[in-house]
Chains A and B, each alone.
Chain A
Amino acid sequence: MQVDPSANAGYLTAAYIVTALILGGYALVLFRRGRRR
């Protein structure tokens, strides 16, 4: 059964935001630790 292509777009948006937050957040933590003197 085919689905409406735009259905459940919220799950996709949430997954992409969560991924960016986790990977971007960890990068930020490491950048801050790397800059510390």
Chain B
Amino acid sequence: MTADLVGARRWIRRGQILTALGLLGLALVYVLALRYTSVERFQGLPQKIFYVHVPAAWSALLSFSLVGITSILYLWLRDPRLDRFADSCAAVGLVFSMVMLTTGPLWARPVWNTWWTWDARLTFTLILFFLFLGYRALRGAIQDPGERARFSAVLGILGMVLVPFVHLTVYLFRTLHPQPIVLKPSAPSLPGDMLRTLLISVGVYTILLIGFVVMRYGVAARESLETSDAG
């Protein structure tokens, strides 16, 4: 057994432990949000979707930013591990985007009286999702590993450029989407128990993100070794 294979298995094991911890944490967030966090006066129960929607947005945007950063590093250093890491972050970012794009309309329907509106924040988020779907499709379409890594790195960097723009859309355009209440220059405008649940949820999602990326990276590393052995 080669050292590389042992290393890949170690990444998978670490990812499994972190993911299991993250899933337990998600159960804890559900209990905290439903049982120990107050109900918002004007929106009622649907406001509690906040505790799964906002951390999903945070995780998706963080994953896509990591794709861009590691893509820049790949173009500089040409290390295939960076390309594999960027691919893992893109796949995981798409999973969190799916949570964001499904829980958002479920929150919007009772509060805005519509499932979807084509305003700047929502539209740019959807474009970002499709851009990274394209990133994954592009990788699947190119056989040569070097070419695949180079082309997808360029697309990954372009995707990262959209991330701060998505965050700032609520300031730049008139939109139904609320402005940030935690990630803003002034202090968070949220009651203490709601802020506590939100921050715990963001922490849990971040653990899940790391667990997913590490496990996905380990699996990809092992599959790449198996492919090169077979060839």
Q: Is the CB of A3 within 8 A of B106?
A: no
Q: Is the CB of A22 within 8 A of B219?
A: no
Bound-state Cα–Cα, A24 to B56, Å: 14
Q: Is the CB of A9 within 8 A of B208?
A: no
Secondary structure dominating the interface of B: helix
Q: Is the CB of A6 within 8 A of B45?
A: yes
The residue that B42 contacts in the complex, of A1, A11, A30, with Cβ under 8 A, is: A1
Q: Is the CB of B42 within 8 A of A3?
A: yes
Q: Is the CB of A22 within 8 A of B15?
A: no
Name the interface size band of chain A. Answer: 20 to 34
Secondary structure dominating the interface of A: helix
Q: Is the CB of B26 within 8 A of A20?
A: yes
Q: Is the CB of A18 within 8 A of B215?
A: no
Q: Is the CB of B44 within 8 A of A3?
A: yes
Q: Is the CB of B46 within 8 A of A34?
A: no
Q: Is the CB of A5 within 8 A of B208?
A: no
Bound-state Cα–Cα, A21 to B226, Å: 31
Residues 36-57 of chain B, each 1 if its beta carbon lies under 8 Å from chain A, else 0: 0001011111101100110010
* Chain A residues packing against B (C-beta within 8 Å): 1-9, 11-12, 14-16, 18-20, 22-24, 26-27, 30-31, 33-34
14 CB contacts below 8 A, A to B, read: A3-B42, A5-B39, A7-B44, A7-B110, A8-B110, A15-B106, A16-B52, A19-B52, A19-B99, A19-B102, A20-B26, A22-B98, A22-B102, A30-B219
